[in-house]
Amino acid sequence: MSSTALGMRLDGLAAYVPEQVWSNARVAARLRLERMRLGASKRTAGSGKLPAEEAKLFETSDRWVRRFIGFGERRFSPEGEGTIDLATRAARLLFERSGHSPNDVDSIVVASVTPSYLYSPPDAALLQHALGIPVWRGADPRELRGADISLACSSWVASLTICYALIRSGMARRILLVGADRMSAAINWRDRSFATVLGDAGTATLCTAVPAAEDWFSPTQFWSWMDGGHAGIILTPAGGSRRPSPLPEEVEAGKHRLAMDGAAVKEVLVPFTGGPAMDAALAKAGWRLEDLDFATLHEANLVLNASIIRMWRERGFRGQVLDAGGRFGNTTSASIPLALAMNPGELVVGRKFGLLGFGGGLSASFAFGTILHPLPAWNNLRSP
Amino acid sequence: MSSTALGMRLDGLAAYVPEQVWSNARVAARLRLERMRLGASKRTAGSGKLPAEEAKLFETSDRWVRRFIGFGERRFSPEGEGTIDLATRAARLLFERSGHSPNDVDSIVVASVTPSYLYSPPDAALLQHALGIPVWRGADPRELRGADISLACSSWVASLTICYALIRSGMARRILLVGADRMSAAINWRDRSFATVLGDAGTATLCTAVPAAEDWFSPTQFWSWMDGGHAGIILTPAGGSRRPSPLPEEVEAGKHRLAMDGAAVKEVLVPFTGGPAMDAALAKAGWRLEDLDFATLHEANLVLNASIIRMWRERGFRGQVLDAGGRFGNTTSASIPLALAMNPGELVVGRKFGLLGFGGGLSASFAFGTILHPLPAWNNLRSP
């Protein structure tokens, strides 16, 4: 490793979305079906009708989702496929199209909140095998670094930050950074709040060491924040190590699935991300809102994001917003690279960008950079 | 951040183990009870006796565990407490005894395979709140970096590697590194293979930036490896994103709990860790086995570890082995710092050490360093 290799560029990125499209109407129908089933089981048990307050949790429509969330559709993985399958397909697409070889990768970082397996094995190790990355050179093991990294909706930018630290410190030269989540696994079909939001996708980005003069980033261009005081507004009540054995009735009620207080999320995250978080991150980087040619926000909810962007615009942001257009839902650790991969024509040399993750925890993780080399991007929806 | 702050030292570490002690006899009795319950339910269902092959999975004894695993006892968290509770107590112990303030921490890295909550919130954010680490300075958010990191039994050394990269790159100055796992949450009480092995513990280590000349480590003193081709030998069949909704009978059979092919683990990991893995890591560091004053291995199983150490001894290792003496079981992400915290008198300035994580994935993550400053260590079993 040359001691001048102290910068990082992105050498290509790819996104894979599953084939199965779920329109808002289909999600609404699935929620209605669940309400019918619950109603029937309540009648059978002689416990009366579903209270109006509870029945409301099942009600949604295409119109409502488009108006209040901004999503038109999302995609779900088929039965039996998890995060590793999304990750593997995205990585294969990246290597096939870019012509880079997986054999050159020295590190695999998997950003995800939905590990394919609880406890073990980690997705990073599964990906080594799925891609056939060599871990032997004759009788000697070939070094390969890896980790699964999770920080709710900020997982991907938090992982990008770690990739930068590994490269900047001279510890890695070529990192395969995956952002992938099978969020459909986290849906409680008795609660519209996340059912209308979540989607599945996998992405793969190649992070490569370059001389310091060609660095797209700098240590000051990464900014992060956490506040566990609001942890309850995006939380899974059961199934983790604090409550590893939910009762059958809790499973039935979806207590092992992700829940959100949507109003609180909006109330807390919009003013924070739109105001002081962005200010602090820009101040650290020595950048201004005016400097950004484009911004990509974690696609939590396009209506919420529009409120954040409005605050930035009022204070000088004139750049473009690259998003996935509400076609894939909130794909958590995949959302930011997915949005980039859906806008390959906009990733033009010379442009300054902001990648802005925020959400559960609460957490925020931002990165600012400049595209200094061509950044090819692919997705499985476009022909080559 | 001064550009000369390019090294890392460990500024103190603390371990917390829960009060509830489970002897081998108690584990054996719990397995027998489970067998009786299963036998009774089979008789009720008229499906005959438990097949001998299956019945064997419940059989163990203090003598057997001591002989083949080397553990005498372990500790389990009380109902309702998860990884975050172990982590918080260890971190409080660290700050109380060391006199350092949690307010100086700029990053929280949580190594764990048993997150307190599925999907969200991350334990790093919960720890910020539990410790009262400030995230506001007046109207401005104070930067705080964080991530939950998982790589099976190699999680802690993989996370230490990332802490080093963050500090070495100038991106962090003071990191709270937690290694904590409530492994009792992962036990299938119908399978002795992990039931006799796992335990719960939390640890907290302070990683601090120092001038390069005082660096305990170097980029070449970290080595990692992964091989997903053997992922199946330590694996949780259901409950992850590939199989998020196990059937009630699968839950009853413990398919959402960790399972191990103990013979395969031994067959693969002993010759690998005892031979080529250690050779490759030492060669990268420019160290020899003779250089190590002490080694701490992930306490997977003391009998397995003894086989690894025997291979090293045959080839020149003359150092001490610091372990937790089989008193706490395999605590996964806590095991290495727990062993250090149980041997505070051995952490003497000038000593060269190897920290050696290996296990599920398969994965291995090693770090070599030299204690260059006093390293105080505490645990909740000793009086101050």
d(CA A227, CA B133): 9
Could you tell me if A80 and A130 are in contact, meaning their C-beta atoms sit under 8 angstroms apart?
no
Please compute the mean of the pLDDT values over residues A36-54 and round it to a whole number. 86
Q: Check CB contact under 8 Å for A168 and B171.
A: yes
User: Is pLDDT at A382 greater than 80 in this prediction?
Assistant: no
B54 assigned to some structural domain: no
Query: What pLDDT, on the 0 to 100 scale, is given for residue B383?
Result: 54
Closest CB to A236 among B118, B130, B242: B118
Quick one: angle between helices A302-314 and A262-274, nearest 10? 30
Please compute the mean of the pLDDT values over residues A12-26 and round it to a whole number. 98
B1 assigned to some structural domain: no
d(CA B251, CA B253): 5
B265 assigned to some structural domain: yes
The strand ranges marked E within chain B are 7-16, 21-23, 73-75, 107-111, 136-137, 140-141, 145-150, 174-182, 200-210, 222-226, 234-235, 259-260, 294-297, 320-321, 352-359, 363-370, 377-379
Query: Quick one: B267 and B300 in the same domain?
Result: yes
B163 assigned to some structural domain: yes
Query: Quick one: A368 and A230 in the same domain?
Result: yes
Query: Quick one: B193 and B335 in the same domain?
Result: no
Query: Quick one: A374 and A315 in the same domain?
Result: yes
Query: What pLDDT, on the 0 to 100 scale, is given for residue A2?
Result: 43
Shortest distance between the Cα of B374 and any Cα of chain A, in A, equals: 25
Instruction: Choose from A361-370, A375-384, B33-42 the range with maximum mean pLDDT.
Output: A361-370
Query: Quick one: B85 and B129 in the same domain?
Result: yes
Nearest of A148, A296, A84, A113 to residue B158 by alpha carbon: A148
CATH number of the domain at A355, please: 3.40.47.10
A41 — pLDDT class (breaks 50, 70, 90): confident
User: Is pLDDT at A1 greater than 80 in this prediction?
Assistant: no
Please give the interface size between A and B, counted as residue pairs whose CB atoms are below 8 Å apart: 320
Per the listing, tokens 């921490």 go with B105
CB < 8 Å to B153, chain A: 120
Instruction: Give the end of a domain, one of A159, A183, A214.
Output: A214
Query: Quick one: B231 and B153 in the same domain?
Result: no
Query: Quick one: A229 and A371 in the same domain?
Result: yes
Site from B3, B84, B118 to mutate, A interface, most A CB atoms within 10 angstroms:
B118
Nearest of B76, B132, B72 to residue B104 by alpha carbon: B132
Query: What pLDDT, on the 0 to 100 scale, is given for residue B77?
Result: 98
Instruction: Give the end of a domain, one of B167, B183, B214.
Output: B214
CB < 8 Å to B177, chain A: none
B226 assigned to some structural domain: yes
Closest CB to A128 among B120, B147, B227: B227
Coil vs helix vs strand at A52: helix
Closest CB to A118 among B144, B226, B239: B239
Query: Quick one: A17 and A89 in the same domain?
Result: yes
Length of chain B (residues)? 384
Query: What pLDDT, on the 0 to 100 scale, is given for residue B99?
Result: 96
pLDDT one-digit tens code per residue, B222-246:
999 999 999 999 999 999 999 999 9
User: Is pLDDT at A384 greater than 50 in this prediction?
Assistant: no
User: Is pLDDT at A20 greater than 90 in this prediction?
Assistant: yes
Instruction: Give the end of a domain, one of A164, A179, A214.
Output: A214
d(CA A354, CA A316): 14
- For A182, counting Cβ atoms within 10 Å of its Cβ (0-12 exposed, 13-18 middle, 19+ buried), the class is buried
- Is residue A234 within a helix (H) or strand (E), and if so which, with residue range? strand A234-235
- For A250, counting Cβ atoms within 10 Å of its Cβ (0-12 exposed, 13-18 middle, 19+ buried), the class is middle
To the nearest whole number, what is the mean pLDDT of chain B?
95
Count: domains in chain B: 2
Shortest distance between the Cα of B229 and any Cα of chain A, in A, equals: 6
A64 assigned to some structural domain: no
Q: Check CB contact under 8 Å for B147 and A135.
A: no
pLDDT one-digit tens code per residue, A274-332:
999 999 999 999 999 999 999 999 999 999 999 999 999 999 999 999 999 999 999 99
Q: Check CB contact under 8 Å for A165 and B162.
A: yes
pLDDT one-digit tens code per residue, A105-144:
999 999 999 999 999 999 999 999 999 999 999 999 999 9
Query: What pLDDT, on the 0 to 100 scale, is given for residue A47?
Result: 81
Query: Quick one: B136 and B267 in the same domain?
Result: no
User: Is pLDDT at B1 greater than 90 in this prediction?
Assistant: no
Please compute the mean of the pLDDT values over residues B311-324 and round it to a whole number. 98
A368 assigned to some structural domain: yes
Q: Check CB contact under 8 Å for A121 and B361.
A: yes
CB < 8 Å to A362, chain B: 121, 125
B2 — pLDDT class (breaks 50, 70, 90): very low
Could you tell me if A364 and A276 are in contact, meaning their C-beta atoms sit under 8 angstroms apart?
no
Query: Quick one: B207 and B256 in the same domain?
Result: no
Query: What pLDDT, on the 0 to 100 scale, is given for residue B134?
Result: 96
Q: Check CB contact under 8 Å for A119 and B119.
A: no
Could you tell me if A363 and A111 are in contact, meaning their C-beta atoms sit under 8 angstroms apart?
no
Nearest of B60, B42, B64, B62 to residue B51 by alpha carbon: B42
Q: Check CB contact under 8 Å for A108 and B231.
A: no
pLDDT one-digit tens code per residue, B45-87:
888 888 888 888 888 999 999 999 999 999 999 999 999 999 9
Closest CB to B241 among A135, A182, A280: A182
Shortest distance between the Cα of A345 and any Cα of chain B, in A, equals: 32
Shortest distance between the Cα of A312 and any Cα of chain B, in A, equals: 17
Q: Which domain holds residue B204?
A: 7-21+74-214
Q: Strands B234-235 and B259-260: what pairing?
A: antiparallel
Query: What pLDDT, on the 0 to 100 scale, is given for residue A343?
Result: 97
Please compute the mean of the pLDDT values over residues A251-267 and round it to a whole number. 93
- For B114, counting Cβ atoms within 10 Å of its Cβ (0-12 exposed, 13-18 middle, 19+ buried), the class is buried
d(CA B367, CA A144): 14
Query: Quick one: A197 and A263 in the same domain?
Result: no
In chain B, % of residues over pLDDT 90? 91
A93 assigned to some structural domain: yes
Query: What pLDDT, on the 0 to 100 scale, is given for residue B227?
Result: 97
Q: Check CB contact under 8 Å for A152 and B235.
A: no
Query: What pLDDT, on the 0 to 100 scale, is given for residue B130?
Result: 98
A51 — pLDDT class (breaks 50, 70, 90): confident
Q: Check CB contact under 8 Å for A166 and B170.
A: no
CB < 8 Å to A121, chain B: 152, 228, 231-232, 234-235, 360-362
Site from B83, B120, B151, B176 to mutate, A interface, most A CB atoms within 10 angstroms:
B120
Q: Token pair for residue B82?
A: 């998860």
Task: Give this prediction's pTM.
Answer: 0.97
Query: What pLDDT, on the 0 to 100 scale, is given for residue A5?
Result: 57
Query: Quick one: A190 and A224 in the same domain?
Result: no
CB < 8 Å to A269, chain B: none
